[in-house]
Amino acid sequence: MTETSTLHTLAARAGAATPPALAARVRGLSDRAIAWLFITPTVLLLLAINVFPLIWTVRLSFTNYRANRPDAPLRWLGLDNYTRILGDPDVWYAMQATAHFVVWSITLQVLLGFGLALLINRRFRGHGFWTTLILLPMMLSPAVVGNFWTFLFQPQTGLFNHVVAFVTGIDPGSFQMIGDVRLAPWAIVLVDTWMWTPYVMLICLAGLRSIPDDIYEAAEVDRAGPLRRFWSITLPMVLPFLMLAVLFRGIENFRMFDMVNLLTSGGPGSTTEVASITLKREAFEKWRTGYSSAFAVILFVTVFGLANIYVKALNAVRQR
């Protein structure tokens, strides 16, 4: 009774606040019209700033266009750019560097992140505070992170080298994380792991907290040991969450640009030249716009294809 009366007064207030002509016009909008009215601006914006450029990229990828010489005669090359890319050793090198980076950074993040989540899930006193501290690196700007790690990696004066020297006893000036062709690929993996382990940790923690306690209690009744409980309860229940984290990290690291660009800018030589850095060199330093457009299309199709296959696997795991 009270409820309906409140609603009546609300309606009365709304009616009083709205001029009748406007009210009639607005009320006239069907749900369908509102749906389109609400969705169209977003779709138009995405068409203008994502889809149209993508189509433009595809078109350019069949030409010899160079953005620094817009007036040069445009030639139609057909699939030449694509065949040249697939035969370009630099491109294959970049793909290998990307694969090394993606596989190792994600492996380390999964191991560390899952481990940390298991520890934090024991809910010791003050775990909220320490968790927030651990989360900080992933909220930072990757470019700024890449930049200040160059400072930490300075061989003579950097904090990192001195901490390693302190722990292992070797000379801090005897190794260069960024300057050495063997170490640089690990430097980018290390910084990425530092930055994004909390991401995997947070998602795993959500997975762990989604497991109802009574499953463990039932397992205890069945005398399942801790290892058995981990393999048959914890891991399978967390797996969909973990796979989701890997999906997001995988996409992000496949397109990695900012952190690596500022940490090593692809060097030394081209040892840390991941795909996006090669792409930037081709497009904005060598100005081979057509060629780099074809590379961009190949990268996009690769990410999209891999992500789709992966999502199918993820859904299969979820349905189990």
Question: By CB under 8 A, what part of segment 53-92 binds another protein?
Answer: 53-54, 56-57, 60, 67
Contact string (CB under 8 A) for another protein, positions 14-43, x = contact:
xx--x----x--xx-x-xx-xxxxxx-xxx
Position 250 contacts another protein (CB under 8 A): no
Least separation in angstroms between residue 89's CB and another protein is 21
Which CB sits closer to another protein, 11 or 79?
11
**How many residues appear in the chain?**
320
Which CB sits closer to another protein, 176 or 292?
292
Least separation in angstroms between residue 88's CB and another protein is 17
Long-range contacts of 64-69 (CB under 8 A, 24+ apart): 64/290, 65/289, 65/290, 65/293, 66/287, 66/288, 66/289, 66/290, 67/283, 67/287, 67/289, 68/287, 69/287
Least separation in angstroms between residue 14's CB and another protein is 6
Structure tokens at 55: 């189509």
Site for another protein in 261-280 (CB under 8 A): 261-262, 275-276, 279-280
Is 91 in contact with 76 (CB distance < 8 Å)? no
Contact string (CB under 8 A) for another protein, positions 114-143, x = contact:
--x-xxxxxxxxxxx-xxxxxxxxxxxxxx
Cis geometry, peptide bond prior to residue 236 (ω within 30 degrees of 0): no
Q: CA–CA distance from 197 to each of 80, 126, 187, 310 (Å)?
A: 41, 20, 15, 21
Position 157 contacts another protein (CB under 8 A): yes
Least separation in angstroms between residue 13's CB and another protein is 9
Site for another protein in 204-223 (CB under 8 A): 206, 208-209, 211, 213, 216-217, 220
Euclidean distance between the first and the last CA atom of the chain, given in angstroms as a whole number:
48
Among 164, 230, 239, 267, binds another protein (CB under 8 A): 230
Least separation in angstroms between residue 98's CB and another protein is 10
As separate numbers, helices (DSSP H) first and strands (DSSP E) second, the chain gives 16, 0
Position 313 contacts another protein (CB under 8 A): no
Size of the site for another protein (CB under 8 A): 121
CA distance 155 to 151: 9
**HEC-encoded secondary structure of 281-296:** HHHHHCCCHHHHHHHH
Least separation in angstroms between residue 217's CB and another protein is 7
Position 48 contacts another protein (CB under 8 A): yes
Is 192 in contact with 272 (CB distance < 8 Å)? no
CA distance 242 to 205: 10
Closest to 183 (Cα-Cα) out of 208, 164, 200: 164
Which CB sits closer to another protein, 158 or 185?
158
Stretch of residues binding another protein (CB under 8 A), selected from 71-79, 80-88, 89-97, 112-120: 112-120
Position 174 contacts another protein (CB under 8 A): no
